A and B are shown apart, each in its own frame.
Chain A
C-alpha cells in the first residue's frame, strides 16, 4: 500500500525533525529574563549561560542560583540554554552565543575535550568565558570556578571516622563510576577512612539513582547482620538506602551520609532526621555572577577558584550548616 508507506515516511520525517529540533517540551530554546528595570544611563550586559543538562536536580539548582544572583543586578540580562546532555549541541550553543554578540559566557561543560575548542574560540573572539564545575583542557578560558569532589569525599570519610569512634562496618553506594565525580568521591572517601578501623564491607554502583540505591541496600541488608554506616555518593542514594533499612526495620542501627546538600533534597532529609549528615557540593552559581560583574567592569579575576563545602548535620542544620576548612 503506497499511501500507507507515504504516511509512515511522513511521520518518520516529522518525528526526526522534531527530535533534531530539541525533542521534549522542556525547552532547549533560549529563555531570556530581564531583571528589574535598568537605569536609563546604564549599559545592559547580556550573559549567555550554557548548561550541559538541566535534567539533573543539581544543575536545575545551579541555574536557579545564577538567576537569583543575576536578579539583584539590573545591568545583567541572562539567557539560558540547555544542551540536554549532548556535547555537540552545547558546542553549537557556545557558537550561537558568540555570533549573537553576548558580553560574557558562563558554561558548565558536559565534557572537557569537545568543548575546549569552542570555549577558546569564544575567548579569541573577545567574549570572556567563565567555566563552571567541570573544567576544559588547557588554559584558554577566562576563569574557572569549581568544587573539589575528592576533598568532599575525604571530609565525609573523616566525619564518619569521628562519628563511629574509629571503628565500624560501612556500605558504600557509589555514583556512576565512569564519571569523575563518582571516582573522586570514592577515592577521597577511601583516603579519609584509610588510617582508621572503618571497613567497607559492601560496595555497589547505584549510578546516582535512588531506586538502584534502594535495591543494592536491600542486598547489603540481606547479607550483613550489622551495618554501622552508609556512605552514598549523593543524597538520593542515601535516601534510598534509608528506605531500604526502614523497610527492614533496621534504620536506627546505622548512620546515613550523603553528598550534594540541595535545599529540597539533602538538607531537607537532614531536617527530617532521615540523613545524619550531608556535605554540600556547591553549584557556584552565585560566585559566577559575582565574577562576571568584575570581568565586565574590567577588574582582574583569579584564573581558578575552588569553592568551599559545608557540612549539614543534625546539630547544625537549623543554623545553616558549618563551613569545612
Chain B
C-alpha cells in the first residue's frame, strides 16, 4: 500500500499534485484573516484560472508535438472582439455568433499550423508571426476601441445597447452557485482534450510525432495533417477562451490576452508536460492550472506588492518544475 502511494507520488501526476499541495499549504498558512477558508475564494480562484486553463489545454496538444503556440493570447483578443462585435453590435443570436468566433480562431490556428507543418517554418517563428498579425487584426476590427454596450453613432453621440443574455450565462454561477460557467467550459475542454489525447488515434499520433517525428513519418503517421490539426485545435480553444473572456468583461477588448500565452505555457510545464515533446497529458495541465491559479489568488488576497508577487511567482515556478524533474 505505502509503496504504491510512493510510486504514485514519484509519477508525473504525483509530483504535480505535490506542487499543488505545497501552494495550497501556503494558502492555509497565509489565509488573510480567514479569506482562504471561504468557499467563494476557491470558486473565484478557479474561475480566474479558467480562461488561461482553456488556452493551456490547446497548448498541451501543441507542446506534445514538440511545438509551441505563442499566438493564443492574441487569438483570444481577436475572437473576443469578433464575438462582442457580432453579438452586441450586429445583434446576431448566440448560436450563430459562437460558431463564427470559433471559426475565426480555428482559421488563425490553421494558418499557423500550415506554416509550421506544411512550410516547415519553426513553430516559434510561425506562431510569433501569427501572434503579431492577430493582434493587429483585432485592433483593425475594433478600430482600436473596446467593443462594449456604448455604441458611437456616426454623428459622435453615444447610445447604449443591451448586453446579450449569452454574456450573463457564461459568467453566471451554476449548480447552486458552486461553480461559475467559465469553469464548466474549462472542465469540458479538459475532458474533450483528454479523450482525444488518451483514447483517439490522433492523440497517439501527436505523441509519436513529439517523440520522434522522422520515425513517426516512416511508420506511416500523417505528420503534416496531425500536426496542423494540433494548431487548429489550439486556435479553436483560444477562441473558446476569447468568448469566455469577453463574456466576463462584458466587452471585447483588442488588448485582451497579452502575455496569457506565457501563463498557459507555465501551466502546462508546471503540470509536467515536457517542452521536448512526446510526454505529458492534459490531466497534468489541469493540476498545473490549479497550481498557478491558487498561487495567484493567495498572493492577491494577501495584497502582496506587485514587486513581491513577480519574484515569488518566478521562484515558485522554478521550484515546481524542479520537483517535476526525472531522477
Contacts and interface: CB of A to CB of B under 8 A. Distances in A.
B40 A248 contact: yes
Nearest to B253: A210
A177 B306 contact: yes
Interface residues of A, number: 43
A261 to B, nearest CB: 13
B178 interface: no
Contacts of A177: 306
A42 interface: no
B323 interface: no
B297 to A, nearest CB: 7
Interface in B120-161: 120-122, 125-126, 128-129, 132-133, 135-137, 139-140, 144-146, 148-150, 152, 156, 158, 160
Contact of A243 (B32, B158, B250): B250
B121 A203 contact: no
Contacts, number: 112
A113 B150 CA distance: 38
A222 B140 contact: no
A151 to B, nearest CB: 25
Contacts of A33: none
B261 interface: no
Interface in B8-49: 32-33, 35, 38, 40-41, 44, 48
A264 B303 contact: no
A120 to B, nearest CB: 31
A202 B303 contact: yes
A54 B142 CA distance: 13
Nearest to B42: A222
Contacts of A179: none
A319 B301 CA distance: 40
Interface size class of B (residues with CB under 8 A): 35 or more
B150 A8 contact: no
Given A7-B120, A25-B139, A247-B171, A222 B41 contact: yes
Contacts of A211: 245, 248-249, 256
Contacts of B126: 11
Nearest to A15: B129
Contacts of A265: 146, 148, 150
A248 B296 CA distance: 19
Contacts of A263: 150, 152, 158
B300 interface: yes
Given A205-B306, A211-B256, A223-B33, A264 B119 contact: no
A177 B306 CA distance: 9
Contacts of A219: 32, 35, 41, 297, 300-301, 303
Contacts of B121: 7-8, 11
A88 interface: no
B249 A268 contact: no
B300 A204 contact: yes
A272 interface: yes
Given A7-B121, A222-B40, A264 B144 contact: no
B137 A25 contact: yes
A323 interface: no
Contacts of B140: 25-26
A15 B140 CA distance: 20
A296 interface: no
Interface string A49-86: 00000110100100000001000000000000000000
A318 interface: no
Contacts of B119: 7
Given A205-B305, A222-B40, A26 B139 contact: yes
Contacts of A216: 300
A272 B173 CA distance: 24
Contacts of B69: none
8 contacts: A15-B128, A26-B136, A26-B144, A57-B145, A177-B306, A204-B300, A219-B300, A222-B41
The 7 tightest CB contacts between A and B, nearest first, are: A24-B136, A25-B136, A268-B150, A223-B35, A219-B300, A205-B306, A219-B301
Interface of A: 4, 7-8, 11-12, 15, 19, 23-26, 54-55, 57, 60, 68, 177, 202-205, 207, 210-211, 214-216, 218-219, 221-223, 240, 243, 247-248, 263-265, 267-268, 271-272
